[in-house]
Amino acid sequence: KVSPSAAPERLPFCRVTEEDLAFFRKILPGRTIVDPDLVEPSNVDWLKSVRGSSEVLLRPQTTEEVSQILRWMVTKSTERCLSSHQTFSHVLFSSYSYCNSRNLAVNPQGGNTGLVGGSVPVYDELILSTSLMNKILNFDSISGVLTCQAGCVLENLSFYLEERDYIMPLDLGAKGSCQIGGNVATNAGGLRLLRYGSLHGTVLGLELVLADGQVLDCLSTLRKDNTGYDLKQLFIGSEGTLGVITAVSILCPRKPKSVNVVFLGCETFEQLLKTFQLCKGMLGEILSAFEFLDSECMRLLNTHLKLPNPISDCPFYIVIETSGSDPTHDAQKLHNFLEEAMTSSLVSDGTVATEEAKIKALWSLRERVTEALTHDGFTHKYDISLPVERIYQLVTDMRKHLGNQAKSVVGYGHVGDGNLHLNVTSPSKDPALLAAIEPFVYEWTASCRGSISAEHGLGLKKRNYIYYSKQSQAVALMGNIKAMLDPKGILNPYKTLPDNLKQ
Contacts with ligand 2HG by CB under 6 A lie at: 115, 173, 370, 381, 383, 413, 421, 423
Q: Which is nearer to ligand 2HG, 456 or 495 (CB)?
A: 456
Residue 485 Cβ, how far from ligand FAD at the closest point, in Å?
A: 12
Q: Which is nearer to ligand FAD, 456 or 461 (CB)?
A: 456
472: left (phi over 0), alpha (psi -120 to 50) or beta: alpha
Residue 182 Cβ, how far from ligand FAD at the closest point, in Å?
A: 2
Check if the beta carbon of residue 336 is closer than 8 Å to that of residue 322.
Answer: no
Q: Which is nearer to ligand 2HG, 232 or 414 (CB)?
A: 414
Residue 308 Cβ, how far from ligand FAD at the closest point, in Å?
A: 20
Q: What is the DSSP letter of 116?
A: S
Q: Which is nearer to ligand 2HG, 296 or 383 (CB)?
A: 383
CA distance 182 to 325: 31
Check if the beta carbon of residue 133 is closer than 8 Å to that of residue 60.
Answer: yes
CA distance 77 to 56: 16
381 binds, options ligand FAD, ligand 2HG, none, Cβ within 5 to 8 A by partner type? ligand 2HG
* Nearest CA among 501, 462, 465 for reference residue 483: 501
67 binds, options ligand FAD, ligand 2HG, none, Cβ within 5 to 8 A by partner type? none
Check if the beta carbon of residue 190 is closer than 8 Å to that of residue 172.
Answer: yes
Q: Which is nearer to ligand 2HG, 413 or 459 (CB)?
A: 413
Residues with Cβ < 8 Å from 217, sequence gap 6 or more? 207
- Positive or negative, the Cα torsion across 310, 312, 313, 316? negative
Residue 221's φ and ψ, nearest 5 degrees, are -120, 15
Q: Which is nearer to ligand 2HG, 381 or 462 (CB)?
A: 381
Q: Which is nearer to ligand FAD, 211 or 286 (CB)?
A: 211
Half-sphere exposure of 329 (CA within 13 A, CB side): 12
Q: Rounded to 5 degrees, what angle do the CA atoms 43, 366, 136 make? A: 55
Residue 319 Cβ, how far from ligand 2HG at the closest point, in Å?
A: 11
60 binds, options ligand 2HG, ligand FAD, none, Cβ within 5 to 8 A by partner type? none
451 binds, options ligand 2HG, ligand FAD, none, Cβ within 5 to 8 A by partner type? none
Task: Name the site residues for ligand FAD (rule: CB under 6 A).
Answer: 46, 107-115, 118-119, 130, 150, 172-174, 178-179, 181-183, 185-186, 188-190, 239-240, 244-245, 370, 455-456, 459, 492, 495
Check if the beta carbon of residue 383 is closer than 8 Å to that of residue 456.
Answer: yes
The 3-state secondary structure of 26-80 reads HHCCCCEECCHHHHHHHHECCCCCCECCCCCEECCCCHHHHHHHHHHHHHHHHHH
Residue 371 Cβ, how far from ligand FAD at the closest point, in Å?
A: 6
421 binds, options ligand FAD, ligand 2HG, none, Cβ within 5 to 8 A by partner type? ligand 2HG
Residue 17 Cβ, how far from ligand FAD at the closest point, in Å?
A: 24
Residues with Cβ < 8 Å from 472, sequence gap 6 or more? none
Q: Which is nearer to ligand FAD, 82 or 460 (CB)?
A: 460
Check if the beta carbon of residue 130 is closer than 8 Å to that of residue 111.
Answer: no
179 binds, options ligand FAD, ligand 2HG, none, Cβ within 5 to 8 A by partner type? ligand FAD
Residue 338 Cβ, how far from ligand FAD at the closest point, in Å?
A: 26
Cα–Cα distance list, 132 to 59, 242, 269, 476 (Å): 6, 21, 45, 36
492 binds, options ligand 2HG, ligand FAD, none, Cβ within 5 to 8 A by partner type? ligand FAD
> Nearest-CB residue to ligand FAD?
182
Q: Which is nearer to ligand FAD, 234 or 402 (CB)?
A: 234
Residue 359 Cβ, how far from ligand 2HG at the closest point, in Å?
A: 17
423 binds, options ligand FAD, ligand 2HG, none, Cβ within 5 to 8 A by partner type? ligand 2HG
Residue 478 Cβ, how far from ligand FAD at the closest point, in Å?
A: 15
Helices (H), 203-285: 232-235, 269-283
Q: Which is nearer to ligand 2HG, 13 or 317 (CB)?
A: 317
Check if the beta carbon of residue 440 is closer than 8 Å to that of residue 471.
Answer: no
Residue 432 Cβ, how far from ligand FAD at the closest point, in Å?
A: 27
